[in-house]
Each structure stands twice: as C-alpha cells, then as structure tokens.
Amino acid sequence: MDITAVSRSMPASVGSVPDVPVQKAQENRDIVKAVRALNGAESFGQDNHLSFQRDPYSHQMVLRVVNQKSGDVVLQLPSEEALRMAEDLKRLQADASPDNRR
C-alpha cells in the first residue's frame, strides 16, 4: 500500500468522516512524512518500499517492506503468525471468561 495512493484514492465526497483529535491528526501527518522520507531516500533498498496499514482482523498497525518488482513482502512487523496468535489468544480468553461459562 502506497501512502500517497491511499490519500489520492479517497472518494471526493465521503459521508461522515469521524473527528480526529488535532494531536492525533498531527501524529498521523508526521508518520506519513517519515514514511515518504524513508521511501524517497531508498532506506530499504532501491526496489523496496515501506508501507503501513491496519490489519483488518486485529486492527493493529502493520509495517511492511515490500519488493516492488516481485511484490514479495521482505519484512513485516508484527508477523502474520504473531497477529494470528494474538487473535487466537483473544478468542481463548473470551471463551474462558466467567460470562461465557455455563
């Protein structure tokens, strides 16, 4: 996911946009600037691109370094395995909670 592509792909008219606190909005802008700077400096190699996105299942932010020629993920933090284990643990904890016992 290219950050610049994400901002350009937003529809012209979005229904209701949630209010983002000023401090959080500034932090988001700072992160986008940092990612653009790292990609511009080719910090991860000439063919690699840094991106971040929210995992649709865990809702955690995921950082990826992707080879743009092959599309291969060179590095991902947290890893897919760590994300799935965290989800499994959440489910186990929810199943073991006193509210779910009969």
Contacts of 73 (CB under 8 A, 6+ apart): 64, 65, 66, 67
Q: How far is the C-alpha of 51 from the C-alpha of 49, rounded, in Å?
A: 6
For residue 55, the model assigns a pLDDT of 86
pTM over 0.75: no
Note the pLDDT tens digit of each residue in 19-41: 768 888 888 888 889 889 999 99
